[in-house]
Structure 1
Amino acid sequence: MSKPNYCQLTEQHRRQAYQAVNDIVRIAIGHTQDEAALIIYDTECPLAPLLAEAYQATLPQAQVIEISSVDNETVMAAFAAQAAGTLIVLIQSTHFRLDAYRLRVQLFAQGLKVIEHVHLSRMINDEAPHYIASLAYDADYYRGTGTALQAKIAGAPDAKLISGRGDVLHYACPLEPAKLNVGDYRALKNIGGQFPIGEVFTEAVDLTAVHGRAQIYVFGDTTFHCNFPPEPITIVVDGGRITDVENSTPEFDAVLARIREVEGEVWLRELGLGLNRAFDRQRTVSDIGTYERLCGVHLSLGAKHGSYNKPQFKRKDTRFHIDVFIDVDGGVMLGTDNVYHAGRWQLAPCNAANSQLTTAAKL
């Protein structure tokens, strides 16, 4: 297997990372430099130590552990020794192998704040600068636009996703109460999550009411990387399930085959409205979980969704949640309002301080 190629990171990138990290810690997390913090990082790709430097500059009193220098027991003991309210920063080129199931959930249960960066080694070639740019935290934009979309979703009788060539995917029913991932934890028990952030997500109240056509220009493949087909793939949806595919690729066929092998049919579940303006069709990254924040629309294929229960699924039987990104150059209609134009959300931001937030960091 060939060694991945990473671009050179400059002093400008370091300054940009420091500013973003400082805003995340101070504004999103609400943590001061005098409060306790623990930073754990690796050095397996250039982006990881750069972010570690930025967090150390922001949190000069923090305890710092480079993970290859200690064993797992030492790391787990360091977690256990932290008092409630301590900020834990996890900077991972892949994902730390600590023999801990859902580590972030365990840390939250301990009353700790958590900032997590994962799969940084997937930011190959010239992608690391895009990742750094995506960390910029504009609280007014994220919180205001997020709560405005949440309010629009709450009042919409239906939704339509329209491609540039006029294909329509129609949600012929109301949408579930939207959840936010906008870096606003002020009213929440758990503080923090995976970064970068920027998403409003929901799904159809009645999954079988979704029908029409949509064009996919990126999808998550079987290795959790972004796959960019040479031409958009058209999916045909009826009763909330994919019934036909046009202009497919072997890689997309493999994704559908894996879902059908386990779940029988390919359902559409999540309707994700990404807010992160650092990503678009030209400024991309290879990691599907990072690119998911793109300022646009993604859907999930497969029956799995941790935030919404549906009568036709038993959670133990659902396995797949595969992100696909669809062309909405023709607009996103929430009821009679088009809220998306020219690659940006077009609506008056709400005052997040006066909104009833339903916020969720995906675990």
Structure 2
Amino acid sequence: MTSLPASADIASPDLPAHAIDAATAHLRDILGYAIEHGPAQRALVVYDERTGLARALVEAYRRNLPDADFVAFDSTGPDEVLARFRALVPKDLVVLVQSTNFRLEAFRIRVELFKLGLKVVEHVHLSRMPGSQSEHYIEALAYEPAYFRGVGRGLKALIDQAPMARVVGGGEELVFASPFEPAKLNIGDYSEMHNVGGQFPIGEVFTEALDLEAVSGRAQIHVFGDTNYRSNRPDMPVTIIVDKGRVVGTENATPAFQQVLDNIRADEGEVWVRELGFGMNRAFTRERRVDDIGTYERMCGIHLSLGAKHGVYPKPGFKRKDARYHIDVFVVTDAVYLGEERVYADGAWTAGPADDSVRIPG
């Protein structure tokens, strides 16, 4: 097992009562509506208490799942944790509350739990979101089904039929002169999926160009994932110059951003632009950020991935064993066009109204 030094607890005070109350309400909606966890199904919460955010989430789960089994990861042997997982039956629920990322030897926790047919809610890298970021994280857990499902499906419908796209921001324009791969949804609706659950917070629609070489232009990057997997915000946005799907130049690149590009080029030869991500979570903006890049990926706006790695969309000429990098970068975005239709304006998605018929029951 992986553990933090004992001193890690000292600088992580408890969250205020109102934050725990908000977490309780948001998780109630996630469990009842997105995960559809029912009284006939068992629940197991595996947790640590190394950070104030982790402790707040555990308390919120205790309020929502009074009959669940709670297992403290740091004081439980790995064999016992695995035995608890394997004692569950399909459609039971496992919740993972992790200040870092739990390790159980070669057991890839979420993947293996899905193989067992279990529902999974995963909270990860909570130690990367200290202070006020903890409350940003809790705010991002709010489950808005009318918004996520209505706007998310509206975006997917437009992406799947769009002949091309343009991302405009900061006086720059990046053009995707190609149709797109079928868009994937992360909107808390698992009705058409084999697995139920995943990493939370949620809120994203993503795709990539069918023809990667049809991507060209310029984009300003206001945040990028650095070599420590943290959100790095330069004082001035970095401009990337893209030609035939590859980053061929930059302006105002910081040493940290240049290091990311150098690492990719050293191992992959060139820097491809692959994913086009439509983040939907309105709790995260250009100004309201969290340090964990995997959480901030849901930010309401456009993000791209740099590097050849993308396991969802296999492409000819890209060998999985040689593709090592998938680095999220976040684009200064004023407008997004799918074909001729503008789908993003004033910091919000305008692709199809939220479905007001979708309500949380009760």
Indicate conservation of the 8 Å contact 2:146/2:354, yes or no: no
Question: How far, CA to CA, are the matches of 2:81 and 2:347 in structure 1?
Answer: 43
Structure 1 residues 229 and 5: CA distance shift in structure 2, 3 A: farther
Whether 1:290 aligns to 2:268 is no
Whether 1:347 aligns to 2:351 is yes
What is the CA distance between 1:8 and its match in structure 2?
5.0
User: Which residue in the other structure is 2:242 paired with?
Assistant: 237
What is the CA distance between 1:235 and its match in structure 2?
0.3
| Unmatched segments (≥5 aa) in structure 2 | none
Q: What pairs up with 1:111-150 in 2 under 5 angstroms?
A: 111-150=117-156
Structure 1 runs of 4+ aligned residues shifted over 3 Å read 1-8, 349-354
Q: What pairs up with 1:179-328 in 2 under 5 angstroms?
A: 179-328=184-333
Question: How far, CA to CA, are the matches of 1:306 and 1:113 in structure 2?
Answer: 22
Residue deviations 1:42-79 (CA, integer Å, cap 9, x gap) = 01111111101111211111011011121111101111
Query: Which of 25, 34, 49 is the equivalent residue of 1:43?
Result: 49
Indicate conservation of the 8 Å contact 1:241/1:268, yes or no: yes
Question: How far, CA to CA, are the matches of 1:353 and 1:148 in structure 2?
Answer: 15
Question: How far, CA to CA, are the matches of 2:73 and 2:107 in structure 1?
Answer: 18
| Unmatched segments (≥5 aa) in structure 1 | 355-363
Question: How far, CA to CA, are the matches of 2:122 and 2:116 in structure 1?
Answer: 16
User: Which residue in the other structure is 2:341 paired with?
Assistant: 337
Question: How far, CA to CA, are the matches of 2:244 and 2:353 in structure 1?
Answer: 33
Q: What pairs up with 1:36-75 in 2 under 5 angstroms?
A: 36-75=42-81
Give the AA of the match of 2:38.
Answer: T
Give the AA of the match of 2:343.
Answer: V
User: Which residue in the other structure is 2:157 paired with?
Assistant: 151
What is the CA distance between 1:186 and its match in structure 2?
1.4
Give the AA of the match of 1:72.
Answer: P
Residue deviations 1:124-182 (CA, integer Å, cap 9, x gap) = 231000000000000111011110000010121100000132x1100011111100000
Question: How far, CA to CA, are the matches of 1:311 and 1:97 in structure 2?
Answer: 34
Indicate conservation of the 8 Å contact 2:148/2:354, yes or no: no
Residue deviations 1:97-147 (CA, integer Å, cap 9, x gap) = 211442111111111100000000000231000000000000111011110
Give the AA of the match of 2:350.
Answer: Q
What is the CA distance between 1:84 and its match in structure 2?
1.3
Give the AA of the match of 1:267.
Answer: W
Q: TM-score, normalised by structure 2?
A: 0.94
How many correspondences in the alignment?
352
Question: How far, CA to CA, are the matches of 2:329 and 2:248 in structure 1?
Answer: 16
Question: How far, CA to CA, are the matches of 1:353 and 1:258 in structure 2?
Answer: 48
Indicate conservation of the 8 Å contact 2:93/2:118, yes or no: yes
Indicate conservation of the 8 Å contact 1:144/1:350, yes or no: yes
Indicate conservation of the 8 Å contact 2:13/2:51, yes or no: no
Give the AA of the match of 1:175.
Answer: F
Structure 1 residues 352 and 257: CA distance shift in structure 2, 3 A: farther
What is the CA distance between 1:281 and its match in structure 2?
1.6
Indicate conservation of the 8 Å contact 2:165/2:175, yes or no: yes
Residue deviations 1:258-279 (CA, integer Å, cap 9, x gap) = 1011000000000000000000
Give the root-mean-square deviation of aligned CA atoms: 1.7
Q: TM-score, normalised by structure 1?
A: 0.94
**What SS does the corresponding residue of 1:53 show, helix, strand or coil?**
helix
Whether 1:30 aligns to 2:63 is no
User: Which residue in the other structure is 1:361 paired with?
Assistant: none
Question: How far, CA to CA, are the matches of 2:189 and 2:344 in structure 1?
Answer: 23
Indicate conservation of the 8 Å contact 2:170/2:220, yes or no: no
User: Which residue in the other structure is 1:79 paired with?
Assistant: 85
Structure 1 residues 353 and 269: CA distance shift in structure 2, 3 A: farther
Question: How far, CA to CA, are the matches of 1:8 and 1:81 in structure 2?
Answer: 33
What is the CA distance between 1:283 and its match in structure 2?
1.1
User: Which residue in the other structure is 1:360 paired with?
Assistant: none
What is the CA distance between 1:351 and its match in structure 2?
5.5
Indicate conservation of the 8 Å contact 1:143/1:352, yes or no: no
Give the AA of the match of 1:83.
Answer: V
**What SS does the corresponding residue of 1:133 show, helix, strand or coil?**
helix
Question: How far, CA to CA, are the matches of 1:334 and 1:109 in structure 2?
Answer: 37
**What SS does the corresponding residue of 2:217 show, helix, strand or coil?**
strand
What is the CA distance between 1:32 and its match in structure 2?
2.2
